Chains A and B, each alone.
Chain A
């Protein structure tokens, strides 16, 4: 019994160390890789964190999360294109993603397993077709380009460094929100529902309601991530609602470590850096990322952070 506080103390110190290291890396990141790529890592990182809430903690594999990322991206772009300020555009995007998630979540969380994956994928594809056809708002095949990002509080958003550090603050807020959700009684119940739905129901919880709430939170955070992506680039295209984007966030989460909450950020960094290298080396991106995905599913299901955690636990 007396050993317990010491172990907990050590664990806490370890966690603090990891957080400090991660913060340091993110602070110097735009000086290591070019700032737009660094911002992409933040946006996709937050997207993957939001996705892990669904996959890692609620046990539901959504194959249509691009719907929320993309809805928010288009809304953010539209708001910026209509002269709104950056915070309004980010918030507007996030809220729209949340609104879209209500019917999609309501119809999909009643299904489990592979059914859930197919339904979310189908709804995302429907939104993708809408984005293609609703050219007045989305620009169709051309997308929306050259979006103004008015400065804020002395920040000049034409400067990519300024954009990165502003996005870093938003990213940190998003991560705090995700952390709070996972550590709350709600988060614990969610894991209980994931592990044994029947038992959770027998002690009086409504699994469907918990899953729907998780779905909405995840969608809103994915929306926030999508709006950061548009904020970073100043353009939006059909790519944001494409099924490949839905698959990419799954891959990032898996590579980083499913159920580790922040591991997926590392996964996002790996995928984006890999893609950057491949594009500059003009190698077939899909072949290599597809291969990495297949190998990760076969041999590396715990991901970078999951493997690391297992390794540290074994040493202790």
Chain B
């Protein structure tokens, strides 16, 4: 494989990695504070794309406003889910929350499938690239689609901003304190329950944001998140549930590694990430950045 082809694959991998990073970042933020794995993350990612599509159909809302509106709408839905459903299961085995969100996944996916079929008479819908980002950009070694470059850059910015807020600001300090020890944080007069809701809503909004970004690349389709979320789980296992930074770095790194691996040997494209996961589990059972888990 020559150097040029390899560089192209690196950029392709970064695009996939951008989605892994945004999704696993959301999962990591939620897991940190709530100790639950949100199985519905993939369905909410799809919902982000769908909301962008539906708003475009109904009000002619374009990509740029949708990039803000869809995550807010889906994030508010996340807030409602946390307040209405997840909250009832705290204190039980965290497996029950995984099961609850699995049920929600089935519900959301098939509901959207039904809506798309009855309201729009399609099973999947394309989403146009915003005009400013149409075409390709000369990177010196290749012309790469401008929109995909934007996705990489945008995801890096969002991830960096999230990292900054959590590690360097007062709000982040509160969230980290509540993650470390909810009881003591509560004793300092901080309403941990409210922060749990906010953080869940934010994690869900990140998933929806990834969905809007994905809409012009893959078309809007009810099951677009179901396989992606399982690959993201593998990414999370590789990175470990320990750190925000870990989930982002692992997301991009796995994206690139898988792209390079599948260029060398195409049939391995879909399974390489799981092979990586098995290897990491053998050598570091808690993942690359993870701390030993306590039940």
List the interface of chain A (C-beta within 8 A of B).
Answer: 61, 63, 103, 107-108, 110-115, 117-119, 121-123, 125-126, 129-130, 132-133, 243-244, 247, 250-251, 254, 284-287, 289-294, 296-298, 301
Contact = CB atoms under 8 A, between A and B. Distances in A.
Given A111-B285, A290-B105, A301-B96, A125 B114 contact: no
Contact of B95 (A108, A114, A125, A244): A114
Contacts, number: 124
Contact of A293 (B88, B99, B285): B99
A122 B100 contact: no
A125 B106 contact: no
B99 A129 contact: no
Contact of B107 (A63, A111, A291): A291
Given A61-B98, A112-B295, A126-B271, 17 more contacts: A112-B293, A114-B98, A115-B237, A119-B281, A121-B230, A125-B230, A125-B274, A132-B270, A243-B226, A244-B106, A251-B103, A286-B113, A287-B107, A290-B110, A294-B107, A296-B103, A297-B96
A125 B235 CA distance: 13
A193 to B, nearest CB: 12
Question: Considering residues A115, A244, A291, A292, which has the most beta carbons from chain B within 10 angstroms of its beta carbon?
Answer: A115
B44 interface: no
B89 interface: yes
Contacts of A244: 106
Interface in B78-124: 85, 88-89, 92, 94-96, 98-100, 102-111, 113-114
B74 to A, nearest CB: 18
Nearest to A126: B274
Contacts of A301: 92, 96
Given A117-B98, A121-B233, A284 B295 contact: no
Given A110-B285, A286-B113, A298-B89, A122 B274 contact: yes
Chain B interface bracket (under 10, 10 to 19, 20 to 34, 35 or more): 35 or more
A133 B270 contact: yes
B123 to A, nearest CB: 13
Across the A-B interface, the 7 shortest Cβ-Cβ residue pairs: A286-B110, A290-B107, A293-B103, A290-B106, A126-B274, A294-B103, A129-B270
Nearest to B103: A293
B178 interface: no
Nearest to B110: A286
Contacts of B102: 63, 247, 250, 293
Given A122-B234, A297-B103, A117 B110 contact: no
Given A119-B237, A119-B277, A133-B270, A114 B37 contact: yes
Contacts of B108: 290
A114 B230 contact: no
Contacts of B293: 111-113, 115
A118 to B, nearest CB: 4
Contact of B233 (A122, A286, A292): A122
30 contacts: A107-B278, A107-B281, A111-B281, A111-B285, A114-B37, A114-B95, A118-B233, A118-B236, A119-B237, A119-B277, A119-B281, A121-B233, A122-B274, A125-B274, A126-B271, A126-B274, A133-B270, A247-B106, A254-B99, A286-B106, A286-B107, A287-B106, A290-B105, A290-B110, A291-B103, A291-B107, A293-B100, A293-B107, A294-B104, A296-B103
A111 B238 CA distance: 13
B267 interface: yes
B105 A113 contact: no
A250 B274 contact: no
A250 B39 CA distance: 14
B132 to A, nearest CB: 37
Contacts of A251: 103
A119 B295 CA distance: 16
A63 B100 contact: no
Nearest to A61: B95
B231 interface: yes
Contacts of A111: 281, 285, 293
Given A117-B95, A125-B274, A298 B88 contact: yes
A115 B284 CA distance: 13
A294 to B, nearest CB: 4
B131 interface: no
